[in-house]
Amino acid sequence: NVFIVSLSISDLMVTLVSVPFTLLEAITAGWILGLFMCKLVSFLTVLSSTSSVLTLMCIALDRYNAICQPYKSRVLQSNKRAIQLLSAVWVISVIIALPLLYVSSLREITDIRDGKEYALCVENWYSSSQKMAFTFFVVAMTYLVPLALMVVLYARIWHYLWVKNTITSEFHQMASSAAKRKKKATQMLILVVFLFFVCWTPYHIVTIRREFPKFIDNETNRLILAFITLLAFSNSFNNPIVYAFS
């Protein structure tokens, strides 16, 4: 329950901060809220999405211990340990997001069609290599590592539930309520990981692609990026729905 509370807070932040401002920027074709909000929204967006992903990873680890190592989990699973893990999650998330408070800035753009000027909220690093290094670091910490860990943990859970324990005493009677609850919880969390993959993969592919030459930063591509970003943020809408119906 402690993990679910953390996930709910992260997803609520995404819903209230990231989604509205992404939509506003797409509708206005620029950033109209000034430098302070540019820095703040950039920071909160990375903070909320990172904490959400890392909390999903903690939930996967918690489920793995509860199902595959039930005796060990009695020692590991406690509110104190959960709070310690979540404290680490939020500290790491803040550390990852902190650079955005410094590098986020406004770039003035002139529309060649009508001569109007507008601003974009962008990351202004000292060099392209610094920006690329930060991008790859964030992708690794918020996508590649969590996804790999969740896939491994849920694969082991699946093997434990459906293969290894077909002849054990606990799962020999598949009608037992405890076994059904564990199987249902596992199916729910596997769905969470699948939705995470579907929602976030396009965003990270485009994020990496933008770091290489020949990427054209025009209005059309910015609209496409806004759509893909909203798809990524939609993962925060999926989590409570999956938990509610499961």
pLDDT above 60 for 169: no
- Per-residue pLDDT band for 234 (boundaries 50, 70, 90) equals confident
CB atoms near residue 160 (< 10 Å):
18
**Inter-residue long-range contacts of 63-69, CB under 8 Å, 24+ positions, other chains counted:** 63/153, 63/154, 63/157, 63/185, 63/186, 63/189, 64/153, 64/154, 64/156, 64/157, 66/182, 67/157, 67/160, 67/161, 67/182, 67/186, 68/156, 68/157, 68/160
pLDDT above 90 for 176: no
pLDDT at 229 (0 to 100): 86
The pLDDT tens digits for 7-21 are: 889 989 988 888 888
Q: What is the mean pLDDT of residues 46-67?
A: 89
Q: What's the domain range around 54?
A: 2-245
Query: Cβ(238)–Cβ(232) under 8 Å?
Result: no
- The H-or-E segment that residue 175 falls in is none
| CATH number of the domain where residue 95 is located | 1.20.1070.10
Length of the chain: 246
Number of domains in the chain: 1
